[in-house]
Amino acid sequence: MRITNLNEKLQYEDVWVVAEMLLDKIHPVTYELLGAARALADYGASRVGVIVLCSKEPENPTDLFAFGADKVIIVTNPQLKGFLDETEAEIIIRLIEKYKPEIVLGAASSRGRALIPRIAVKANCGLTADCTELGIDFESGDLLQTRPAFGGNIMAIIRSPNHRPQMATVRPGVMKSITPDYSRKGEIIYEKAKLNNQAAFKRIIESITKEENAVNLTQAQIIIAGGRGVKGAEGFDLLRELAAKTGGAVGASRAAVDSGWIPYEHQIGQTGQTVQTGTYIACGISGQIQHLVGMQSSALIIAIDKNPDTPMMQMADIAVVGDLFEIIPALVREI
Amino acid sequence: MKIVVCIKQVPATNEAKIDPLTKRIVREGLKAVMNPFDAYAVEEAIRLKEKCGAEVIVISMGPEKAQRCLREAVSLGADRAVLLSDRAFGGSDTWATSYVLSKAIEKIGQVDLVICGKQAVDGDTAQVGPGIAAHLDFAQATFVMKVEKVDRRHIRVQRMRENGYDVCDIKLPAVITVVKDINMPRVPTLKGRLASDEIDIPIWRPEDIKADIEKIGLDGSPTRVVKTQPPKARSRKTIRIEGSPQECAKQLAQRLREEDSISGANI
């Protein structure tokens, strides 16, 4: 909605989170978004709302209060089991028109990246993707949205001065959830989903969920990633062993994925996933720029390589010079 | 069937060098190329044309030199191309960009399918594809990894999720955005190259597509870039560990314990 005067602007109040739903379960990124929403609402003395779309009522909606929500708006409809972009967008637009939130946050997941832009265009408001920081401009009260551009080479600070709500997406693993307080209370509101012609747009024939669902790179606190130097699919078994021992996840460079040593889901970098993990251990990864942009924001970067002069070994916090086939088994024994 | 492919010209980051001091990409002097993800969109359109017969029209919004990317798409098999170029389009954010592209698609008329790459590698937003669908009120499917079949009313696609994929029937007209798993783009033939040299690429201005001037360019964009700044630089020095594998492992394990990175149950 385009805003023409201050009175119009003041009608928009709450900070909303669009809950990330996975087969009627609330995905953990929702709690991270709530952490960010809570901080914004506290600053502006407003309330935090969560929108939950599902086919049947979620198990613990009151958990959302513990993680910072003041109200939870639940829309249930049997058709909302799979992800229907057009229908969900229409429902949320109606809720936005009714309740007038000032800010709407969504996950930059495959679902959020399809749903949120559709809402933003139809609701005529600004949207910033993949924000790494969110704050409030002291003077205008506008949302300040920081996002990386050009593969992480520039940080742009963006605002939408004349449109409400202000919308932003955030990747999983970027924001922090608050320590849950299970004594916090809130309000649950049930809204009806009027599904009209939107439902005709899409029919989900089947949903395939991969069995090997251990690839959770964006949530992992430690990532063991392999590149060309891992030399083959067997080499990745070694990395898996270390990952199992440290409670981490296994990542890979494009070279390793393109060689067929490990599936695409593990790929980190410009054409794979972007991670900001606690500890990133790069094993035999030379450090092409496309890989570096996908992991350079990790807190501690460790590289293991025979060649001390690769870009990865030079950018790492700790560079271990040596044969990964000897060092990793030794490391597995040490921890 | 009429298919529109939306492409974008971006700086060629695969030729980029890293600044040794800031450890960031040096962007000066980078060549402009077709957004890598758009090559898969062009290829998929041409495959659909070969399989079921279609007219493929490539469009791009950008400076006049963006014609080069459009010619490249024609050399690969697109039938015609249109460039949306005007000073008034400059500074458009994803809302305004998807508006301009949707107005061009309306002008082309009777379009059944719009194909975009999943995102552009410079902005990385992935917002323009679904934005076009929203402006046109078309159905949408993002991150499509396979087109299974097309008939006059529907397209059946596999769209990727984090932990799998959905098979969906999408009502036409629709917008799909594609990932690189969808195909292997071809190289142009000599005949294709010649055709692309000769083809006339019209330039459409705001008035040609009946765009509302208040919805385009910097002023028509809901979002504003307030400022840009370099990312927080990694200021730490690299610590090098050398020696026998056992020694290296011991030191490394020590560091990992200090960092509290190990969350596994086995410690």
CATH of the domain at A243: 3.40.50.1220
- Whether residues A10 and A120 share a domain: the answer is yes
Query: What pLDDT score does A304 carry?
Result: 96
Query: What pLDDT score does A174 carry?
Result: 80
Query: What pLDDT score does B265 carry?
Result: 35
- Whether residues A141 and A245 share a domain: the answer is no
- Whether residues A174 and A296 share a domain: the answer is no
Query: What pLDDT score does B18 carry?
Result: 59
Q: φ, ψ for residue A183 (rounded to 5)? A: -90, -10
**pLDDT over 80 (residue A28):** yes
- Whether residues A255 and A184 share a domain: the answer is no
- Whether residues A123 and A55 share a domain: the answer is yes
Query: What pLDDT score does A275 carry?
Result: 84
User: Out of B121, B133, B250, whose CB is closest to A334?
Assistant: B250
- Whether residues A177 and A34 share a domain: the answer is yes
CA distance B239 to chain A (A): 5
Tens digits of residue pLDDT in B14-43: 555 656 665 555 666 678 899 999 999 999
| Alpha helices (runs of H) in B110-244, residue ranges in sequence order | 128-136, 190-198, 217-220
Query: What pLDDT score does B194 carry?
Result: 93
- Whether residues A325 and A195 share a domain: the answer is no
Picking from A271, A207, A209, the residue whose alpha carbon sits closest to that of residue B180 is A271
CA distance B170 to chain A (A): 5
- Whether residues A193 and A305 share a domain: the answer is no
Strands B139-150 and A249-252: unpaired
- Whether residues A119 and A41 share a domain: the answer is yes
Residue A292 covered by a domain: yes
Residue A79 covered by a domain: yes
pLDDT category of residue A214 using cuts at 50, 70 and 90:
low
Contact state of B239 with A162 under an 8 Å Cβ cutoff: no
- Counting as low any pLDDT under 70, the low residues of chain B are 13-29, 232-236, 260-267
User: Among A147, A166, A201, which residue terminates a domain?
Assistant: A201
Report yes or no: B263 at the A interface, CB cutoff 8 Å: yes
Complex prediction ipTM: 0.88
Residue A216 covered by a domain: no
Contact state of B226 with A144 under an 8 Å Cβ cutoff: yes
Tens digits of residue pLDDT in A246-302: 889 999 999 999 899 998 889 998 777 878 888 999 999 999 877 887 888 788 999
Residues with Cβ within 8 Å of A193's Cβ and at least 6 positions away in sequence, in order, are A53, A75, A76, A77, A79, A80, A87, A91
Mean pLDDT of chain A: 91
Query: What pLDDT score does A173 carry?
Result: 74
The domain total for chain A is 2
Residue A171's domain is classified under what CATH number? 3.40.50.620
Residue B62 covered by a domain: yes
CA distance B151 to B154: 5
- Domain hosting residue B31, numbered range: 2-220
Rounded to an integer, what is the distance from CA A82 to the centroid of its chain?
A: 19
Please report, for residues A143, A324, B178, the alpha-carbon distance to residue B224 in angstroms, rounded to integers and kept in the order given. 11, 47, 28
CA distance A261 to chain B (A): 16
Neighbours of B80 (CB within 10 A): 17
Residue B10's domain is classified under what CATH number? 3.40.50.620
User: Among A201, A234, A251, which residue terminates a domain?
Assistant: A201
Tens digits of residue pLDDT in A104-163: 999 999 999 999 999 999 999 999 999 989 999 988 999 999 988 766 667 889 999 999
Query: What pLDDT score does A211 carry?
Result: 62
Residue A86 covered by a domain: yes
User: Among A201, A231, A257, which residue terminates a domain?
Assistant: A201
Query: What pLDDT score does B26 carry?
Result: 64
Residue B135 covered by a domain: yes
Contact state of A320 with B25 under an 8 Å Cβ cutoff: no
Please report, for residues A95, A189, B84, the alpha-carbon distance to residue A49 in angstroms, rounded to integers and kept in the order given. 11, 10, 41
Residue A99 covered by a domain: yes
- Whether residues A187 and A51 share a domain: the answer is yes
Residue B231 covered by a domain: no
The full 3-state SS of chain A, as one line of letters, equals CECCCHHHHHCCCCEEEECCEECCEECCHHHHHHHHHHHHHHHCCCCEEEEEEECCCCCCCCHHHHCCCCEEEEEECHHHCCCCHHHHHHHHHHHHHHHCCCEEEEECCCCHHHHHHHHHHHCCCCEECCCCEEEECCCCCCEEEEEEECCCCEEEEEECCCECCEEEEECCCCCCCCCCCCCCCCEEEEECCCCCHHHHHEEEEEEEECCCCCCCCCCCCEEEEECHHHCCHHHHHHHHHHHHHHCCEEEECHHHHHCCCCCHHHEECCCCECCCCCEEEEECCCCCHHHHCCCCCCCEEEEEECCCCCHHHHHCCEEEECCHHHHHHHHHHHC
Q: How many Cα atoms sit within 13 Å of B29 on the Cβ side?
A: 4
The domain total for chain B is 1
- Whether residues A104 and A180 share a domain: the answer is yes
- Domain hosting residue A63, numbered range: 6-201
Residue B249 covered by a domain: no
- Whether residues A197 and A230 share a domain: the answer is no
